[in-house]
Structure 1
């Protein structure tokens, strides 16, 4: 007896188109190198210990991507003190690899760019040169969807608790630090971070004591040693700082001393935070899997963009780590808003002149705007600070 087949031939069904048939294409890329001058040279512990010079400017590498169908996205990378022209040079090498590609295929394109520069490594300057493109592609995708990037990613919250760093640098006299603390609180900041790591530990403790008195016992307070202590010093100072009820002690040791950071995290009640200097998912995976910190502090422009940052976030959440991204709040607000656990966002007003739009700060939190994508565009002032640019494609 003949049996009718239930098999449907999908290959011949209605002549429908595939995703590849209707894909958009990257048509042009504009790269720009911009130097943002700082009004006052900035010093942290790396300067006082003679390892670096004061910070006077920041190099930004902007990528503006446009597609055949008229969609646009903007992203940036940056470098402090040195390396900006090098990142820009490598970005120029990478840019042609994106022309003609579907801008939706962000993970594929990240991998393509990573391997294009793999002969000089898959971290450091190589990944930092990918960041402007990867971030621009995510901005483009969210704009095309008509959503803020946080909403495209699946936001957990519409605002993120926000702390200020720029008022507590070591070049600032203590009386001015205390004035800055008062100004920050009145402006709506939800936490204060103080730089430490001076050669004289007593001087650090004096500044910390004064700031804690100014803030009161319960206002969120963090400290940042910028990698300037050895293991014994970090343990000794960390124990003395327990009384100050700190949210975290940041970068007490060299950024790659995962073993030392783990020992501190295990021994101290005060949480340990680190990760801002790491430049790939692989490095952050070592930090997270090794239990070397309580807070991770990835930086999207440093790790290669939003694509690897999302991988870092997923692993951190799985391992129960908290999140406090470094710098670039214009990008990290959206990513922090999508993290399952309540994160912290670092506030820096330095980047304000670069953009036409500003973020809203109130009640200790930074709020996601209703603007699609990342929600910023380059200002006339930023264009005036441009020192070089190049164009690829049409």
Structure 2
């Protein structure tokens, strides 16, 4: 059914974190602890009365830039048929082509793109996963939010216990501490605490050089990890490939890349066993689906990064059994919750993404633009 976009609302929302968060980038002096996350929400309205909701985000700097770019290019959608998502993505890219096809510009488009897919699924009366063609109605999940380096190991162990008791299936902890001995002691403590059969992953957040990654990677082999994440700089495809060939433990990366082309370099080099795209970072669902085709062709496992409200649907539609990263940080932004039990996130049958923006998120709005017909 032909429809027309009549208006959009863009909202910049600042989510305060309960505690300052530190991973290896903080311990090595590259970043300050993270105290908030900036979200860009897009609400797209049509003449038929439907509304689609999408979002993107930026940790630390970048939120205002995403909002400003979206506000500039979004008016080009007024009067367009929202069904033509791929064409509209291209139109928005070319509207801001002078600032590139990756990074903040396409991350700004991502929120709108997600809203258009949400809208399309709602029109069909289907969840987004069903619209895309789901392979499963639940996805394996692991927790990250309880394993950061700023927390003493006793708290990490307590967090792991609580996560597993809540139905989450695996535990990921941060490594990349300036002391390799500290890293190994923390991993050993968690492995002994959760047992040999519980899936355990580690994430170095790009903080090792090649020799260090090789040495610590070998030392980690005894713990039976599901993967070692971002052991090297995210753009070091050759280094990741060499590491993947030399270690038994799977290598995972991709979350920091901001385009399909950058992920293709990982795939082309055989740099990862597990690819970790982030739909809001690479330009939305339209681009994620392009990447998913490449990853499937390469027979890669997929473990999308963050934003589980979006990625649960995309992972459910990926042919090979994936993983989803669980973060509880985003809970205050939405009225709904994903169901978690038996180690898996279970998708609801609510149309679209199945989420609505909460009143609390509205209160955290720091900037807003209403485009086209009034709300």
TM-score range, shorter chain: over 0.9
TM alignment of 1:49-198, pairs within 5 A: 49-198=28-177
Q: SS of 1:168's equivalent?
A: coil
**Structure 2 Cα separation of the partners of residues 308 and 295 of structure 1:** 18
Give the match for residue 359 of structure 1: 338
User: Post-superposition, which runs of at least 4 consecutive aligned residues in structure 1 deviate over 3 A?
Assistant: none
Distance 1:371 1:49 in 2: 43
Q: Residue deviations 1:89-148, cap 9 Å, x none?
A: 001111111111110000000111111111111111111011011000000000000000
| 3-state DSSP of counterpart to 1:166 | coil
Residue 283 in structure 1 maps to residue 262 in structure 2? yes
User: Does structure 2 conserve the Cα–Cα contact (< 8 Å) formed by 1:218 and 1:245?
Assistant: no
If the length of structure 2 is used for normalisation, what is the TM-score?
0.99
**5+ long unaligned stretches in structure 1:** 1-21
Residue 20 (structure 2) aligns with: 41
Cα deviation digits, residues 4-39 of structure 1 (max 9, x gap): xxxxxxxxxxxxxxxxxx621110000000000001
Distance apart, 1:318 and its partner CA: 0.4
Q: Give me the CA root mean square deviation.
A: 0.6
1:313 to 2:281 alignment: no
* TM-score (norm. length: structure 1): 0.94
Matches within 5 A, 1:224-373: 224-373=203-352
Aligned-partner Cα distance in 2 for 1:289–1:260 = 13
Which is greater in Rg? 1
> 2 CA distance for matches of 1:119 and 1:268?
42
CA–CA distance in structure 1, aligned partners of residues 50 and 146 of structure 2: 39
Structure 2 residue ranges without an equivalent (≥5): none
**Tell me, what secondary structure is at the counterpart of 1:350?**
coil
Aligned residues: 373
- Give how far 1:305 is off: 0.2
Distance in 2 of aligned mates of 1:23 and 1:141: 11
Question: What is the CA distance between 1:333 and its match in structure 2?
Answer: 0.2
CA distance in 1, matches of 2:103, 2:266: 16
Task: Determine the C-alpha separation between the residues in 2 that align with 1:116 and 1:288.
Answer: 29
1:13 aligned partner: none
CA distance in 2, matches of 1:253, 1:113: 33
Cα distance in 1 for partners of 2:328, 2:278 equals 17
Where 1:169 maps in the other structure, the secondary structure is coil
- Structure 2 match to 1:17: none
What is the rounded CA distance, in whole Å, between the counterparts of 1:286 and 1:112 in structure 2? 25
